[in-house]
Amino acid sequence: MYSSAASSSTPLPPSTRRDFITVTLSPGGALEAAAAAAGGGYNNSKAWRRRSCWRKWKQLSRLQRSLILFLFAFLAVCGVITYANMSEPWKSLTSRASEEQKTYMEIPGLKPANQAVLPIPQNADANLGDFSLQKPPKQLPVRRGPPNLQIRPPWRDSRLNFPDEAAKEEGEAGQAGKEQKTEKSVISWRGAVIEPDQGTEPPSNKIKEPDRPLPVESEDTKEPVPLNERQMAVIEAFRHAWKGYKEFAWGHDELKPISKSFSEWFGLGLTLIDALDTMWIMGLKEEFKEARKWVATDLNFNKNVDVNLFESAIRILGGLLSTYHLTGDSLFLEKAKDIGSRLMPAFNTPSKIPFSDVNIGRGTAHPPRWTSDSTVAEVTSIQLEFRELSRLTGEEKFQKAVDGVMKHVHTLAGKNDGLVPMFINTNSGQFTHLGVYTLGARADSYYEYLLKQWIQGGKKENELLEDYVKGVEGVKMHLLRKSQPRRLTFVGELAHGRFSAKMDHLVCFLPGALALGAHNGLPADHMALAVELAETCYQMYAQVETGLSPEIVHFNMHAQKDRKDVEIKAADRHNLLRPETVESLFYLYRFTGDKKYQDWGWEILQSFNKYTRVPTGGYTSINNVQSTSNPEPRDKMESFFLGETLKYLFLLFSDDVDLINLDKYVFNTEAHPLPIWPSA
């Protein structure tokens, strides 16, 4: 794309110079011609030529001489400027090309990012069976979300000074900071060589501001894929849940649908914020408009209230950032910066491992009352959100804080073949309660965010990739077992060398993460394991009387007559409307196109409707998944049912790969899509 031209000031060869002088100065060259005709040698001497040129130069007028000198000076300056501008790009281009030629496709048995595979859309749900849900009262829009889902580059000015109304200039935003390094790094782990993407902005603690605004990147325009019957059923379920929240819990954290009231956790409208991007993706513009008005007029973070750092980051900060990217409405970025800044006191610890709780009004932070430890999953699962906030605002403090946590954890002792303990001390910065390893509560999203940070930053942060791949290998080595009688592959727990066949429903995030990693070039056996674990997570629903999974299961590892693979203890048989299984089904369907994953998701949705739906509005968690006659409602609808579970079901039933394209977005652990950093 670069081109250059020879400078017109390049010296001419002697023969050319002589001809040039003879032609241009011939009117006064009679003496020289005569001398040449007489056979004199004077005209061949250098001294004669110099005097001749000088005499002809003096014959020019002052204006002519000035113009010629100016022309030569101008050409010289242009030459210097051209060289300065062209040399570095040429060097970079040449260096990168040579390195790519040397390292391209060095991955043994490893593919670059795979394309999502989906079948040609058909008339969905030809064999759905009886559908007991009532049709939505209104005709649903054919197109979801905005005309095009947008990836928002960072703003040039880090000071946020936006109007309350939605930004109408969706075509402009600042471009990403310039790439500081062209050097290509390669990491090898057990025979797998992973190359970073070349086209994305490298993560750095130094956030560079773009030079000038550029148009926003958008999806390629194409015909929208019509909504199918299953997607419409999800929208109807969302509207039913929203009806209860709007009527009985508007502006509060969570709906209590049985008692027609609400409960507060932080007093910040968690359900409403969690559901913002879900409404936008589903095309529920009226509901979204009402919710946006509440955010603009009633959402106030200047409150004397303690909030959990992790939950606030993934639900509130993540939800606001995602909604900003999907809508382009700067109100949400302004609110995101506000809450992000108020969470920063959590990092004021001796080790820089953050406290678990922050008072967002007073600007103070503290650990839980019973310990000085923080949960490993919580302190390592806020990075996607804070890194993106830095990229958008140009304020490096957010990314610097969370990157420091990851670098510290990377160096810690106490891991077991990549598996990490569940707790870390905020004073010493060391792991505590060593010897206990799980992919369930308190450790799960540590592994998820290793992979997703690597993807978010353009596959350049090799420490993250190394820790993720080591973690997967540790799972295979220490935690994988087979159940009886169906030989389901499951992930258990390890406590001081002793294996337990206990598996949290939370672990069902893992099939989706493994599939996402395989899609981004990690070994094929990751996808094979993802397929096996997705089957296991589905069986945690299918082998239960209500068709709903309990919070925790124990797998039967010994063949016994009339016993299922899944065993449930009385204390573990509750269901909280969790999303992890349908999340993984979404990834598996998006990457394989296998319709069985949609069918499994449809069964789960029908079970939710049969046993958790409250007639007056909303859905409730239940205490007993083994009782079809009395599942014992708990009178609570978690915010993640709208923010995650129904969103993933809607996406699972879609055949549109560009509806949150997984090569352009990465979901945080609360199902809020954030952009993979765009090209520099």
- Dihedral sign for Cα 430, 432, 436, 442, please: negative
The one catalytic residue in 551, 583, 638, 656 is 551
Q: b/e map of 504-529 (b: 16 or more CB within 10 Å)?
A: bbbbbbbbbbbbbbbbbbbbeebbeb
The CA angle 493-409-424, to the nearest 5 degrees, is: 60
- Dihedral sign for Cα 226, 229, 230, 234, please: positive
- Burial (CB count <10 Å: 0-12, 13-18, 19+), residue 190: exposed
Please tell me the distance from the alpha carbon of residue 405 to that of residue 351, in angstroms, as a whole number: 9
DSSP bridge partners of 424: 374, 431
Please tell me the distance from the alpha carbon of residue 476 to that of residue 146, in angstroms, as a whole number: 42
311 is catalytic: yes
Helices then strands, counting H and E runs in the chain, come out as 21, 24
Structure tokens at 637: 């609808």
Distances (CA, A) of 362 to 345, 398, 402, 534: 10, 19, 22, 45
**DSSP strand E in 401-557: where?**
423-425, 431-432, 436-437, 480-482, 489-491, 493-495, 498-500, 502-504, 552-555
Token pair 């009117």: residue = 27
Is 291 in contact with 276 (CB distance < 8 Å)?
A: yes
The one catalytic residue in 580, 583, 644, 670 is 580
535 is catalytic: no
The one catalytic residue in 197, 209, 229, 311 is 311
Q: Where are the alpha helices (DSSP H) in 593-637?
A: 596-611
- Going by C-alpha positions, the residue among 211, 176, 179, 220 that lies closest to residue 196 is 179
Please tell me the distance from the alpha carbon of residue 648 to that of residue 276, in angstroms, as a whole number: 14
Checking DSSP bridges between strand 213-214 and strand 480-482, what pairing results, if any? unpaired
Residues counted in the chain: 680
Checking DSSP bridges between strand 150-151 and strand 431-432, what pairing results, if any? unpaired
H/E stretch holding 20 reads helix 14-24
The one catalytic residue in 378, 444, 467, 583 is 444
Q: Which amino acid, one-letter code, is at 74?
A: F
325 three-class SS: helix
565 is catalytic: no
Please tell me the distance from the alpha carbon of residue 136 to that of residue 322, in angstroms, as a whole number: 27
Count of beta carbons in the 10 Å neighbourhood of residue 188 = 13
583 is catalytic: no
Q: Catalytic residue positions?
A: 311, 444, 551, 580
